[in-house]
Amino acid sequence: QVQLKESGPGLVQPSQTLSLTCTVSGFSLTSYHVHWVRQPPGKGLEWMGVMWSDGDTSYNSALKSRLSISRDTSKSQVFLKMSSLQTEDTATYYCARDHWVYYGLLDYWGQGVMVTVSS
Amino acid sequence: DIQMTQSPASLSASLGETVTIECLASEDIYSNLAWYQQKPGKSPQLLIYDASSLQDGVPSRFSGSESGTQYSLEINSLQSEDAATYFCQQHHDYPYTFGAGTKLELK
């Protein structure tokens, strides 16, 4: 069955770079797009960016200067790197699979990984 | 960016009642609207896509509709398991944006 699982450090110091991994199973990264979405504690959802199935990427312009998404198809993994972290980047980070017909529609989500930015 | 104005921010209803949650898009999103349900400590789950299509496995008491740039989620015959936060999302254009959420409490 389709599964996505995020992993990464729970605590990052301010100004440092966040590195997260999304490991997927039950589908191929060369057939489906994978998005990153984050949610600050008690707040709403923010779309961050997407790894398209062809290897291209798109980013939220609000984060573009700090964000990089890449992948290793042989390991079924999508990576997120975000630099210059600040306390407002404290959030649960999710990866989610794109619906195969409707771009941007997120039909399967990982459990999320909570990241706290603090010294 | 397309703004999604969601209302109400919270509501309280009794078992068996019907509730409606709305999202107003700042421009035409051509029915590219989804609704998600999120329970505490869990990831969002897709309920409705294409404004009114029910995702597989979602109970038929959930329904979606649209009128111009106004989109609605209706939940009929409220069950205890419907207590959650509901988000709308437009996936018409970058950046994909979400409504602020509606927290539904059961009395």
Nearest to B2 by CA among B100, B101, B91: B91
CA distances from B84 to A21, A26, B40, B74 (A): 28, 28, 7, 14
- Spatial distance between the Cα atoms of B99 and B62, rounded to a whole number of angstroms: 18
Which residues of chain A lie closer than 8 angstroms to B95, CB-CB?
A: 47, 60-62
Average pLDDT, chain A: 96
Residue A101 has a pLDDT of 85
Among B46, B94, B101, whose Cβ lies nearest the Cβ of A106?
B46
**DSSP structural state of residue A75:** G
Residue A4 has a pLDDT of 98
Q: What is the pLDDT of residues A17-73, one digit of tens each?
A: 999 999 999 999 999 999 999 999 999 999 999 999 999 999 999 999 999 999 999
Query: Which of A102-106, B79-83, B96-100 shows the lowest mean pLDDT across its residues?
Result: A102-106
- Spatial distance between the Cα atoms of B100 and B85, rounded to a whole number of angstroms: 10
Best residue in B32, B55, B56, B94 for a mutation probing chain A (most A CBs within 10 Å): B94
Residues 60-99, chain A: which have Cβ within 8 Å of B? 60-62, 94, 96, 99
Residue B94 has a pLDDT of 87
Residue A113, Cβ neighbours under 10 Å: how many?
Answer: 20
**Pairing of the two strands A11-12 and A113-117:** parallel
Q: Span B80-105, mean pLDDT? A: 96
Residue with tokens 């729970």: A10
Predicted confidence (pLDDT) at residue A102 exceeds the cutoff of 90: no
Q: What is the pLDDT of residues B6-20, one digit of tens each?
A: 999 999 999 999 999
Average pLDDT, chain B: 97
Task: Say if CB A37 and CB A96 are below 8 A apart.
Answer: yes
Residue A64 has a pLDDT of 92
- Spatial distance between the Cα atoms of B2 and B94, rounded to a whole number of angstroms: 8
Q: What is the pLDDT of residues B59-72, one digit of tens each?
A: 999 999 999 999 99
